[in-house]
Structure 1
Amino acid sequence: MLGLTDVFLCVCCLFANITITSCFCNVTYNSTDVIVKCDNANTSNVPKNVTILFCNNNKDDCNARLFCNRDFKKLRFIDISKNSLQYLPQGCFSSFVDLEHLIISNNQQLGFDNMYNAFHGLNKTKIKQIHASNVNQVTVIYPYPRNISTLLTNTSLKTFHLAYNEIQTLESGSFYLLPMTLQDLSIRGNRFEWNPVFLEIASLKSLQKLDISYQCSTRRYRQRTRRHIDLERNITNQTKEDCKDKTLGDLFRVVPPSLTTLIATGLISEYSCIPRFGISRQSKLEYIDISQAGYNTWIGPIDVHPVFNNIRELDLSNNQCHFIETGFFRNLTHLTTLNLNYNVLGPFMSFTKISASVFHGLKSLKCLWMTNNFIKHLDKNMLKDNIYLEELHINKNEIESWTLDISHLKYLTLIDCSRNKLTTLPKSVRDSLDAISKNKTVMVNLKYNKIICTCKNLNFLDWMFKTRVRVILPEGFQCVGFKGNISYGYNYLKKECGKDNSVKEWLYLVQTICLLFILCVIALVVYKKRWTLIYRWYMFRLKRKRYTPIGGCAGGYQFDAFLSFADEDRPFVDRVIDELEGNPEVKLNVCVHFRDFIPGKSISRNIVTSIHSSKKTIVFMSRAYLKSDWCKYELRMAITEESHMNREVVIMTVLEDIPHKELSLDVLQYYKKNSYIIKPNTEEELKLYLKVLEKLVN
């Protein structure tokens, strides 16, 4: 029969056009439990025989009276996390005598006062697990009160989680007063600073798991500031004297002997190295996680008593490590799993003598993780002591060729070398894998490598498709050197590589020789015709500028003659200019560079334009002329103009006797084919010379 409150709620739901499931809790029955889920629902209709109760995700202020001190005689498990609870009455859960599991996490506004109220009277219950993470105000740093631990002293509590509660200090006795039955303690994500109160942890004789990760951060996912690592430093110059950190030593000194699991992820330390430290003699530690702590240099070693050497798993990932001292792992003879992911061991592994013995002493190692370490090279003998290795994870690195010896790894079952730059695997590695796979399944992950499909690599491709080793490749994988699926590439190469390719090889050679011959001929022609090409290029540019001869000039030329001479010969040339331009009967218009070249234009362009716009080019040949590059350029352009326009352009005057051996090839050829005038030595010869010039120009 429904009570008045339940009837009223149903009527409200019907009038509000809301389904019954959104008003009432979801009840599930099985052979042992009555499970009730009241997410975003009213809890007043919870059956009295409930054993497991979930009340989560209530965004509005949740009324604690809906579940506090209710008549739930069989309730063993209650989860009221992720609500907006701001108040819990004292002894809220004390009436649930069978209560074993209490979760009040993610109610940020509760605070320690309401935590005290929630824990009050739990000694009357069968409480075993309490999760009270993220229940303290985010912006306030509180000391953890000892009276909360006092409420739990006489309980049978085994698991206690106090993560992300902004705790910076603890009152004396906070750990000491916790029940001796406690096995799992999590205080991660707080703001603890090392103080003598931590020594009380050693009093928890039954503690098996301790999580002290992410101290000095307020939230699990807050990005932590990482130390800068200079990869260019000399990694061989590390010294033990530089490593003075005592944080790890103090930490392992306070852990109780019963502890098997220690999680110290993101533990901030003053120094960036792992020094030599010891584990207590009677320690039962099996799993250690000191990842994401910024320890970039590992000196060690880790001292463990040989009788109590129980460490099986060690997580040192995400530390930006770039150096490991020889013998760092030598005492961990029972270690089976080593996680070195996301460090910077690539440069260190390139030092063969150092890296060859880095894993010395790990005689029981079965699983080695070195993902994303910028590794390009692995020493051949790196795993010589790890004969029981079963899994090797070296994915997400930069390995281009396999150099590691695996012939002695008889227990190997998995090699993950995906996302590297491997093109093939050597025959020695393939033979070793075939030998290992005779009695068991062996997997090699080669996803996202650069396997090449060539005749030279056909033996490796053939092995991939025929071996008993399970080679893992992505679906539709395309190898380098072949457009298409690797299976098609393999089948194509089997047919193509078996053919006689000697004819093709000769054909390629002949084609190459012919191509080189043609290129040489083209280069020779271009060299011989270079001045013609230069001249035509400038003429093309003149035409694009819409150049036209000056109107009214004889023959359409702007100048009667262009004078090409060296500055050393200018005294004689000046007199020739005066005579040619000063003669009233002839009135010749000559072009000289120091007077008629247009400023702003390139010299080469001025030269070509002047030669092209002059009827003749008078060259005054001398030793100084032959030494001037621009003079020789003017001569070559004039000769090119002569051949291009099919008219006589050059009038050469030789100012001094020059032996033929001092002449350039093109000048010598011109000497042999054409006549020239010798410099006059007397006034009569000068008058005759000028008359000849006037006649030739006109």
Structure 2
Amino acid sequence: MDINTIVLLWIAAAYCVMTTRRVSPSDTDSCGGLCRCNETDLSALCDGHGNNTLQFGVPPLPSFVTNLMLKSFNIQNMTRKTFAFVQSLNLTSLNINNSTIADIEEDTFSVFSHCKNLKLIIGHNVIAETVISKVLKGLRSLTLDYLDLRHLNISDRDGTFFNPLSGASVQSITVSKNYLTKYNHSQFVNVSNLSYLDLSGNDINVTTLTYSSVLRQLLLNYNRIPRFPIICRRHKSMFPNLELLKLDHNNIDYINSKQIYCLKKLKYLDLSRNFFTTIATNTFAYLPHLETIRLRNMVFDLVSIKEYAFNNSNIRSIILRDNRMELQHALHVDSFAGCDRLEDLDLSYNQVTKLPKRHEYIRDLLRRLHNLKWLSLGSLLLFEIPEIVMNLTKIEVLELYTNYISKLPDRFFSRMPKLKKLYIGTNSFSSLDRTDFPLSMRERVKVLEFSGNPFVCDCKMLWFVEWMRRTPGTFGPVSNYMCTNSDGSIKRYLMTDMHISLNFCLLSFETALIIVSLSIFVIIVLMTSSLVYKWSWNIKHCIYMLRYEKTSRNETNINYIFDAYVIYCAENRKWVLEEAIPNLEERAGISLCIHERDFMPGALIVDNIVDSLRRSRRVVLVLSNDFARSHWCQFEMCLCQTYLLEHRRGLLLAVLLEDIKPCYVTKSMYAMLKTTTYCTWPGDDRQAKDLFWQRMRQALTSA
């Protein structure tokens, strides 16, 4: 045995000794001299610090490691032996980066052929193109989930670089940030399971497509492609299952429906930052699954977007921001006609300058978009919020930043009941009226961005400053909120540091006297109202019963329509619909009166209740804690008890869904439970449930 073999065995033994101790989540230095392990995220990071040659291979690592990263090595020759000590690991990710590798043998990574769905990342290294090509050929023995070849200076000048991948199994390939000038999909067509291909950030100016039924996502953005790739050929799609296509930041000078109509599965299309200036009618109309269109920051101004240009009832999101368009000239008012399901629309950083028809144009442009949830009208030179915006009641996010708006419309937040985020910074607000911000709105809205407005530091803003101090997270960076003094000085202050003299905000004596007088009057009214409110249910009960006293005395012959009238609270609706109706009506033919189904529309609720009592042979009370907490249910129960007593009808049956807490039991409910037969709901016990429904049917059908 020579000296080199002995040294190698000694180093291996040392590695084994150093890694026999179990690694805890807090101990990340237990993998040897150059590796750090973390059991929490199942990872190991081996750092060569720019000079380690990894001569003896990756050291032995704990068996829990599934993510291995090698960084900053200077490797002369990477072989199977490099990974001899870790080849038994069940890796899901192998990441080699920021290293210089002179050579890699073809079968180097075959030691991980047992690892299913491995992510192999070898981008961001210094490796010769011929060496990488050799590595690709050796990947045929692996099943890869992801292959990363970014930043490797790949040029593929002869158009054969990716041919060695033929026969390999790779789901996703990224070759971005290289120097490719041509894209020929025939090099990838024999890569099985390839559903994602990223060729962004190259110099591609020629594209040749070959049929692939498995490709789902294709990224060709940030290249120099001069015209739309020929995907539709002889009424056939080269990529019939393509769902995402990114062609932004290219040199495409023309787009029409004939170029894309065959992409029947396409959901996401990004054509931003290209050279075309016109979008014709029905350009996207033949893409039945299209959800998102991005046309942002075109190289030349979009000069003509025709009527029905986006005509597609499946589209959810349209991005047209940063195009510097004069909307009234370039964007037809019927451009969005047919977009019945559109939820997101971004028109920010364009212009609407033509007066006085500015708001009429915006009204006509948005009038059909009743399902919008996110609307961006930032930097459109608006001087007030368009009225049509308040009619779009489903909006949750509204962006109106960088305009000239100085006040909110009347009842703005009340008219937009679902608004949660409002971005209206950098406008012309000098103050905010407290009445425009009702308490219900303050609890609902999560973001209220008013920064960059020319606020004045006075008493009118004191309430807003206090609100900002209580909940700073609602308003964005508070350092962006500045204000000036009301004396006209130009010096600006941080709003949260605003200090206003109490004398400046004190009320006059006459005003204070009026307020005190009104306060005394209000207190008297409140005391009277509280007494009335305390006995309100009793008063209502007496009034409603007096209304039916005469009628009830004259009743002799009653024709019953229902076998039972069911009284329940909204929280127990599911039990009534899923348990009571199927077991009593559908299986036993017992006719139930259910208020949400059988009440007469338009009649008073109390009239419906009494009519249902008169037309029902029996009454079923569905009792629960929710029922006991409901004032209306308590009233309905009292009305029922009084009615049955006056008519000498004791046919009341109670169902107890759960034990009712003593604090919720009223005197009338206590008396009813003591004097009335009730059945207890057995829960999920099937045999007990069958017996329960048998007893219920017997009680409701007996004479």
Scaled by the length of structure 1, the TM-score of the pair is 0.54
Secondary structure in 2 matching 1:130: strand
Correspondence 1:35-434 to 2 at 5 A: 35-40=44-49, 41-43=52-54, 44-47=57-60, 49=63, 51-58=66-73, 60=74, 63-65=77-79, 70=84, 72-73=87-88, 74-85=90-101, 87-97=103-113, 98=115, 100-107=118-125, 109-111=127-129, 113-137=130-154, 143=159, 145=161, 147-152=163-168, 155=169, 157-171=170-184, 173-179=186-192, 181-193=193-205, 195=207, 197-198=208-209, 200=210, 203-205=212-214, 207=216, 209-216=217-224, 246-247=254-255, 249=257, 252-253=260-261, 255=263, 257-266=264-273, 268-269=274-275, 271-279=276-284, 281=286, 283-294=288-299, 296-297=301-302, 299-300=305-306, 301-303=308-310, 305-306=312-313, 309=314, 311-323=315-327, 324-341=331-348, 343-345=349-351, 347=353, 351-371=358-378, 373=379, 375-384=381-390, 386-402=392-408, 407-425=414-432, 430-431=435-436, 433-434=437-438
**Change beyond 3 A, Cα 1:24–1:451:** same
Identity value in percent: 15
CA offsets, 1:423-467, max 9 Å, x none? 13468xx53x42751762454222221112457xx3x65466579
Q: Which runs of 5+ in 2 are unaligned?
A: 15-28, 226-247, 511-703
Structure 2 Cα separation of the partners of residues 472 and 96 of structure 1: 49
Give the CA RMSD over aligned residues: 4.4
Structure 2 Cα separation of the partners of residues 148 and 258 of structure 1: 30
Q: Is the 8 A contact 1:131 1:162 kept in 2?
A: yes
Per the alignment, residue 640 of structure 1 pairs with: none
Deviation at 1:388, TM superposition (A): 0.9
Secondary structure in 1 matching 2:135: helix
Q: Is the 8 A contact 1:81 1:105 kept in 2?
A: yes
Q: Is the 8 A contact 1:144 1:174 kept in 2?
A: yes
Q: Which runs of 5+ in 1 are unaligned?
A: 12-19, 218-223, 228-243, 502-698
Aligned length: 445
Secondary structure in 2 matching 1:495: helix
Structure 1 Cα separation of the partners of residues 354 and 126 of structure 2: 46
Correspondence 1:521-536 to 2 at 5 A: none
**Change beyond 3 A, Cα 1:86–1:488:** closer
Q: Which amino acid aligns with 1:37?
A: C
**Change beyond 3 A, Cα 1:443–1:53:** closer
Deviation at 1:80, TM superposition (A): 1.4
* 2:457 equivalent to 1:449: no
Deviation at 1:28, TM superposition (A): 1.3
Q: Which amino acid aligns with 2:224?
A: C
Q: Is the 8 A contact 1:106 1:134 kept in 2?
A: yes
Deviation at 1:374, TM superposition (A): 5.8
Deviation at 1:333, TM superposition (A): 2.9
Secondary structure in 1 matching 2:150: coil
Deviation at 1:213, TM superposition (A): 1.5
Q: Which amino acid aligns with 1:369?
A: S
Q: Is the 8 A contact 2:75 2:102 kept in 1?
A: yes
Deviation at 1:500, TM superposition (A): 9.3
Secondary structure in 2 matching 1:4: helix
Per the alignment, residue 628 of structure 2 pairs with: none
Deviation at 1:281, TM superposition (A): 4.6
Secondary structure in 1 matching 2:398: strand
Q: Is the 8 A contact 1:362 1:386 kept in 2?
A: yes
Q: Is the 8 A contact 1:28 1:35 kept in 2?
A: yes
Q: Is the 8 A contact 2:66 2:92 kept in 1?
A: yes
**Change beyond 3 A, Cα 1:7–1:183:** same
Deviation at 1:320, TM superposition (A): 3.4
Deviation at 1:401, TM superposition (A): 4.9
Per the alignment, residue 33 of structure 2 pairs with: 24
**Change beyond 3 A, Cα 1:399–1:282:** closer
Q: Is the 8 A contact 2:139 2:165 kept in 1?
A: no
Deviation at 1:78, TM superposition (A): 1.0
Secondary structure in 2 matching 1:158: strand
Q: Which amino acid aligns with 1:104?
A: I
Structure 2 Cα separation of the partners of residues 436 and 417 of structure 1: 20
Structure 2 Cα separation of the partners of residues 348 and 158 of structure 1: 52
Structure 2 Cα separation of the partners of residues 336 and 252 of structure 1: 23
Secondary structure in 2 matching 1:356: helix
Per the alignment, residue 663 of structure 2 pairs with: none
Q: Is the 8 A contact 1:258 1:284 kept in 2?
A: yes
Q: Which amino acid aligns with 2:450?
A: L
Structure 2 Cα separation of the partners of residues 295 and 150 of structure 1: 41
Secondary structure in 2 matching 1:79: strand
Structure 2 Cα separation of the partners of residues 280 and 62 of structure 1: 56
Q: Which amino acid aligns with 1:103?
A: I
User: Which one is further off, 332-341 or 21-30?
Assistant: 21-30
Structure 1 Cα separation of the partners of residues 389 and 99 of structure 2: 52
**Change beyond 3 A, Cα 1:359–1:188:** farther
Q: Which amino acid aligns with 1:105?
A: G
Deviation at 1:272, TM superposition (A): 2.7
Q: Which amino acid aligns with 2:190?
A: L
Q: Which amino acid aligns with 1:177?
A: N
CA offsets, 1:514-543, max 9 Å, x none? xxxxxxxxxxxxxxxxxxxxxxxxxxxxxx
CA offsets, 1:28-87, max 9 Å, x none? 1527945243353454242265532212234x5654338766461333311113323354
Q: Which amino acid aligns with 1:345?
A: Q
Q: Which amino acid aligns with 1:65?
A: T
Q: Which amino acid aligns with 1:91?
A: D
Deviation at 1:8, TM superposition (A): 7.3
**Change beyond 3 A, Cα 1:70–1:275:** farther
